[in-house]
Amino acid sequence: MFRYFIKKILFNFSLSRYETGMFFLHARKYISHLKYCKKLSNINIKNNSSSENFIRDGYCTFKSQKSEKIAINILKKIKNEEKQYKKVWDEETGIYLRGDIFKKFPEILELFKYDIKEVINQIYKSNFCVYFGILYKSSYKAKEPEGSQLWHVDGGPGTCINLMYCISDINEKNGSMKCLTWQHSKLILKQLFKKYDILNKSLKINEIDKVSFRRKKSKLLDLVISQNFSSKVFQPKSGAGLFYAFKNNCIHSGGYPKKGKERYVCVFHIYPNEKEFNSSKYVKEGVKKTAPYPQNPFTL
């Protein structure tokens, strides 16, 4: 029992101080990295409305004429590929298979240099980098929601920002992503600690598999949200080109497209960096996912 209470105290501490459920000794290096980047970056401290919303709620949305135009053009290219090739998307995950996102669609980098930079720089008060990026398609499947369509938190460092770039229109019918504020997310995660701890032990001794483990955790979240937080769920509706930024550990779900509906989005994980954003690096090297998060943020 004593061990359980110590574990709970440390979990709550890490959640409040470092905005993650990671063990605090591991979590704190990401905050140290953010402080390091702030010192070396020359950022105007004046916030914009989007960054202010993010700082207050843990998420924000923003859009421009340029982001809309680029999204529409990218979707046209993808639709043409779908007509020409049989294998464009992974059947299980919906991930785009025909090349690295920045190498295939370098026009997105123009948005990182201007639209995105304006918001992310002000959130971090530092420069930033892209750790990885993927393009995926969500469409109706004759089975229940799964994977990222279930309520979950990503469990990464508290300094990670998830950034969605919506290539197509988004709405409730095609599975627009749902999210809770960081304050509500933190409250729920603390509330569910004991039940999550029991599930973690069951997974550790192989009483349940990873798929069942994720579903059970999601059902616990779903129950709490439906009982107490259903009116607090944010689900945007927009034409193509919307950006949706949120903290890595805000409770969120990808939604579930209705029959005949589909959604195309890019997802990026963003981290602080001491250097100015360098678009030429990403055109050359791409932005493939090699791990869920960087083990040492100082090497980014």
Are 98 and 85 in contact by the 8 Å Cβ rule? The answer is yes
Q: Which of 38-47, 128-137, 269-278 has the lowest mean pLDDT?
A: 38-47
What does the pLDDT read at residue 72? 97
Cα-Cα end-to-end distance for the chain = 40
What does the pLDDT read at residue 11? 94
Average pLDDT taken over every residue of the chain:
92
**Mean pLDDT to the nearest integer, 251-278:** 92
Are 132 and 101 in contact by the 8 Å Cβ rule? The answer is no
Are 176 and 263 in contact by the 8 Å Cβ rule? The answer is yes
Are 94 and 167 in contact by the 8 Å Cβ rule? The answer is no
Greatest CA span in the chain, whole angstroms? 62
Q: Among 254, 246, 253, which residue's Cα sits nearest to residue 225?
A: 253
Q: Where are the alpha helices (DSSP H) in 180-293?
A: 182-191, 193-204, 210-224, 279-285
Q: Among 145, 154, 171, 172, which residue's Cα sits nearest to residue 250?
A: 154
pLDDT above 70: percentage of residues in the chain? 98
How do the domains of the chain map onto residue ranges? 2-299
How far apart CA 23 and CA 32 sit, in angstroms, is 15
What does the pLDDT read at residue 92? 85
Integer-rounded Cα radius of gyration of the chain: 19
> For the residues of 111-148, what is the DSSP string, one character each?
HHHTHHHHHHHHHHTSEEEEEEEEEEEEE--SS---GG
The alpha carbon of residue 239 and the mean position of all alpha carbons in its chain are separated, in whole angstroms, by 20
pLDDT above 90: percentage of residues in the chain? 77
> Looking at this protein, which amino acid is placed at residue 83?
K
Tell me if residue 230 falls in helix, strand or coil.
helix
Question: Which tens digit of pLDDT belongs to each residue from 140-153?
Answer: 876 666 667 789 99
- pLDDT higher than threshold 90 for residue 88: yes
Question: Which tens digit of pLDDT belongs to each residue from 241-258?
Answer: 999 999 999 999 987 788
What does the pLDDT read at residue 145? 67
How far apart CA 293 and CA 271 sit, in angstroms, is 10
Non-local (6+) Cβ contacts of 204 within 8 A are none
pLDDT range class, residue 295, cuts 50, 70, 90: very high
Quote the crossing angle between the two packed helices 49-57 and 115-124, to the nearest 10°. 50
How far apart CA 36 and CA 173 sit, in angstroms, is 43
Tell me if residue 143 falls in helix, strand or coil.
coil
pTM metric for this prediction: 0.94
CATH hierarchy code of domain 2-299? 2.60.120.620
What does the pLDDT read at residue 142? 62
Measured at the CA of 149, the angle between CA 86 and CA 167, to 5 degrees, comes to 55
Q: Among 165, 159, 121, which residue's Cα sits nearest to residue 249?
A: 159
